[in-house]
Structure 1
Amino acid sequence: MTGQEELQMLRTLVKKQKEELAAKDEIIAKQNIRIENMVQALLQARKKLFGPSTETTKKLDGQVSLFESTEALAKELFNEQQKITVPSHTRKARQPGVRQEMLAGLPKEIEEYIIPDDEVCSKCGEDLMIIGKRIVRTEVTYEPAKLKVKQIVQQIAKCTQCGKEGSENPKDHFQKAAIPVPVLSHSIATPSLVAQVMYQKFAMGMPFARQEKDWYRLGLILSRSNMANWTNRCSEEWLTPVYERIHAELLSCEVLHMDETRIQCNREDGKKASSDSYMWVIRSGACEHIQAVLFHYSSSRKREIARELLSGFHGYLTTDAYTGYDKVENIRRNLCWSHCRRYYIDSIPLTSNGKEIPGSKGAEGRAFIDLLFKVENEIKDLPYEEIREKRQERSRPILDAFWSWVDETAAIPTTNEKLTAALNYSKNQKKHLETFLEDGRLPISNNLCEASIRPFATGRRAWLFADSQKGATANAVLYTLVESARANELDVYEYLNYLLTEIPNSDYLQQPEVLEKYLPWSFDLPDRCRLSHNYKKCLK
């Protein structure tokens, strides 16, 4: 081999090694980007688990500098911020009369301590003369719940004429006193007992296993299987007609919210016990004349379920960006800006201790959306037509600046996968994100529906799963009644007790119109079903 050939071979080898090193550097760079994205995802997950749950944006020093990259946008946003200033919150001093207002609706009892007749002056030993009384302190006592056994005794009378010779009726006739229909036949269950079981689980989040111990403490051996059976039977026999009527009334609204959340059902045909089923939730808009929440259990999240639930509805539907709602007919979709903002919040890089790194593009996107929410906070008390006009005047310029920022930022290469997802979400959903500008009745977010789902999600952490499809359906019925009662400021326990007392003794099968008076917004509900508290100072 000549020297020239040897030199050429060495050059080829060096070139090959350089190419291999370049390829390895590229792989290492990609791995570093992937590791950084994974670290950020871990920090975001830890922040969600252990950080504050509020989505309120904290004011950071130097936040105006977020828009220095685009001078025109910064100027426009600054002008909007000047027009849309929200006064800072200052804690108010406690108002006088708060305690008196809070205790005004509670029964009162006076516990008086008197001086014995034979007591004398502790200084000189002379007699004492009573000159008056004074209130030393005001306390609130708690009386534990009590159980009592009630026996239903029925009086029987015998006709004095029937059965006698010459009577039209040759046989003796016995007549019994009318008694109310039991909520469950051949059972110790009463409306008040079943209502308390339902209230504890579906309003207070106490699963049957914990209730079992509490009933034992009160002297009643009530198994969790019994409580589940009572709930399922009462739901199916008495409460489902009211549930179905609520669904029908919701479909007559013009503005609805909708969302879905997971539920595990252990015994479901064709599915593993650990697989996900879904609870679909429909909520009437704040502008509607009825306030109601509907929970619907389904084994899947297919779009056919949404189409079936919304069959007959014509109006605006506020949701997230789930494509299952796209095929629903006769609706106008209005997407939630809170969901959009969460994408940008997730894209903000964090330090190792979970603090946001200032100056990120994710923070810029969040700041735009925060301005939209500031506008909504200022105009929320105006008439709906004025709200629509103010949105065109104030929110439209913010949106125009936001979309320009999205296009500009999307053109910049980035290794932040979360930011890319946020930008793509914004661009893909632009049409439906702007729907709220059309009508002043439309909300800017789906938070109202999510607030109704929260008690279900919180309770799910305690009871974990539904054992059967019948139990999951009963959950849907009971959460519907509980959350609808709360939306109409009803006493949940008294409302359930009233339904279980009255519906079994009503003729709703022959006269379905009687169900109208059992709906949670009905004016025919008795006063005991309504929260009578009229707090003004306490809630400030």
Structure 2
Amino acid sequence: MYVRDDRPFGGLDPPAALFQFSPDRLGEHSERHLDGFSGVLQADAFAGFNRLYDPTRPLGPLVEAACWAHARCRFFVLADVTAKARGRLPVLGPLALAAVERIDAIFVVEREINSLEAAARLVIRRERLAPCVTELETWMRAERTRLSRHADVAKAMDYMLKCWPAFERVIHDGRICLTSNAAERALRGIALGGKAWLFAGSVPGGERAAVMYTLIQTARLNGVDLQAWLADVLARINKHPARDLDALLPWNWQQPAATQLVADAA
């Protein structure tokens, strides 16, 4: 699934989610989904995206931006003091804890500039974020040379270092977020209910489910009363002029006065 949310850098375009169904995780599906798209793709290090960053891509390579939350999570699991106390971790990793502290310092700065315009974010990032990012890289590369490649913390470091340009891209473009959490939040409902609905039944069933998820998550991203929006749109859409369908999109939709009164009374 894909999410566009420009609000963190003061963008004016409304947020939107797009779910696509595919029967497997082959990279050809994301290539088809993003055919015709150019720009920044922020995601985890899923190998299926690699061809999208290939310079030989017909429209040119997408700009890869890595997710700092995914990277932090790998260290956090190893440094989780609470889990260690419960006996779930054999060793509390001091290097993992040090990495989490350094990454958290980056997030502190980022929270302060959330919703500023891209140009303003970029100025502050270059002034305050860039030194933290550089120090983290220098520290990780130095520590990595002392570790076995089989060490868990080494694997967490390699996850970042192998695609470091994608991680440091945030200090070169004020539009890019530190994380892909907007997409992760949109996927949360599917992840939580995965064991309750393991199968879509068929490919057409999966495609219809993707359409419904797209509508629901886009409405949520825009702060729309989901039940009221769906009820109103489904009741009106058959007679609604095709040339004016944009009026029914979540970011344009106006809740009917009668529905608003009922909602307020409830």
What TM-score does the superposition give when structure 1 sets the normalisation length? 0.43
Equivalences for 1:2-151 in 2 at 5 Å?
none
Q: Which residue of 2 aligns with 1:397?
A: 131
Contact 2:78 2:92 in 1 (8 A): no
Q: Which residue of 2 aligns with 1:211?
A: none
Distance in structure 2 (CA, Å) of the matches to 1:360 and 1:461: 36
Q: Which residue of 1 aligns with 2:76?
A: 345
Q: Residue 299 of structure 1: which of 10, 23, 26 is its match?
A: 23
Letter in 2 for 1:333: E
Does the C-alpha gap of structure 1 residues 317 and 415 become closer, same or farther in structure 2, counting only changes over 3 Å? Answer: closer
| Count of residues in Structure 1 that have an aligned counterpart in Structure 2 | 250
Q: Which residue of 1 aligns with 2:173?
A: 439
Q: Which residue of 2 aligns with 1:284?
A: 4
Does the C-alpha gap of structure 1 residues 456 and 413 become closer, same or farther in structure 2, counting only changes over 3 Å? Answer: closer
Q: SS of the residue aligned with 1:283?
A: strand
Shift of 1:527: 5.2
Q: Which residue of 2 aligns with 1:518?
A: 248
Q: SS of the residue aligned with 2:20?
A: strand
Shift of 1:421: 0.8
Q: Are 2:224 and 1:490 aligned?
A: yes
Does the C-alpha gap of structure 1 residues 471 and 452 become closer, same or farther in structure 2, counting only changes over 3 Å? Answer: same
Shift of 1:504: 2.0
Shift of 1:529: 7.2
Q: Which residue of 2 aligns with 1:103?
A: none
Letter in 1 for 2:203: Q
Does the C-alpha gap of structure 1 residues 529 and 326 become closer, same or farther in structure 2, counting only changes over 3 Å? Answer: farther
Distance in structure 1 (CA, Å) of the matches to 2:261 and 2:187: 22
Letter in 2 for 1:516: D
Does the C-alpha gap of structure 1 residues 485 and 532 become closer, same or farther in structure 2, counting only changes over 3 Å? Answer: farther
Distance in structure 2 (CA, Å) of the matches to 1:435 and 1:423: 17
Does the C-alpha gap of structure 1 residues 427 and 519 become closer, same or farther in structure 2, counting only changes over 3 Å? Answer: same
Q: SS of the residue aligned with 2:194?
A: helix
Distance in structure 2 (CA, Å) of the matches to 1:517 and 1:525: 11
Does the C-alpha gap of structure 1 residues 530 and 475 become closer, same or farther in structure 2, counting only changes over 3 Å? Answer: farther
Letter in 1 for 2:6: A
Q: Which residue of 2 aligns with 1:336?
A: 67
Q: Are 2:143 and 1:409 aligned?
A: yes
Q: Which residue of 1 aligns with 2:57?
A: none
Q: Residue 44 of structure 2: which of 313, 316, 320 is its match?
A: 320
Distance in structure 2 (CA, Å) of the matches to 1:453 and 1:343: 20
Q: SS of the residue aligned with 2:41?
A: strand
Letter in 1 for 2:79: I
Distance in structure 2 (CA, Å) of the matches to 1:401 and 1:312: 38
Distance in structure 2 (CA, Å) of the matches to 1:530 and 1:339: 40
Letter in 2 for 1:419: V
Q: Residue 372 of structure 1: which of 99, 106, 115 is its match?
A: 106
Does the C-alpha gap of structure 1 residues 388 and 467 become closer, same or farther in structure 2, counting only changes over 3 Å? Answer: same
Does the C-alpha gap of structure 1 residues 436 and 502 become closer, same or farther in structure 2, counting only changes over 3 Å? Answer: same
Distance in structure 2 (CA, Å) of the matches to 1:387 and 1:360: 32
Contact 1:335 1:445 in 2 (8 A): yes
Contact 1:490 1:529 in 2 (8 A): no
Q: Is the helix fraction higher in 1 or 2?
A: 2
Distance in structure 1 (CA, Å) of the matches to 2:180 and 2:27: 19
Contact 2:78 2:93 in 1 (8 A): no
Shift of 1:461: 3.1
Distance in structure 2 (CA, Å) of the matches to 1:416 and 1:528: 64
Distance in structure 2 (CA, Å) of the matches to 1:524 and 1:461: 36
Contact 2:147 2:154 in 1 (8 A): no
Shift of 1:514: 2.5
Q: Which residue of 1 aligns with 2:56?
A: none
Distance in structure 2 (CA, Å) of the matches to 1:384 and 1:355: 41
Shift of 1:353: 2.3
Shift of 1:389: 0.8
Contact 1:317 1:334 in 2 (8 A): yes
Equivalences for 1:246-261 in 2 at 5 Å?
none
Distance in structure 2 (CA, Å) of the matches to 1:386 and 1:341: 25
Shift of 1:285: 2.1
Contact 1:491 1:529 in 2 (8 A): no
Contact 1:336 1:444 in 2 (8 A): yes
Does the C-alpha gap of structure 1 residues 331 and 531 become closer, same or farther in structure 2, counting only changes over 3 Å? Answer: farther
Shift of 1:352: 5.7
Deviations 1:434-473 (A, max 9, x none): 1111222211001111011101222333333222222211
Task: Give RMSD over aligned pairs.
Answer: 2.6
Letter in 2 for 1:388: L
Equivalences for 1:188-207 in 2 at 5 Å?
none
Contact 2:19 2:213 in 1 (8 A): yes
Deviations 1:46-96 (A, max 9, x none): xxxxxxxxxxxxxxxxxxxxxxxxxxxxxxxxxxxxxxxxxxxxxxxxxxx
Contact 1:490 1:531 in 2 (8 A): no
Letter in 2 for 1:364: A
Does the C-alpha gap of structure 1 residues 528 and 344 become closer, same or farther in structure 2, counting only changes over 3 Å? Answer: farther
Identify unmatched segments of 5+ residues in structure 2.
53-59
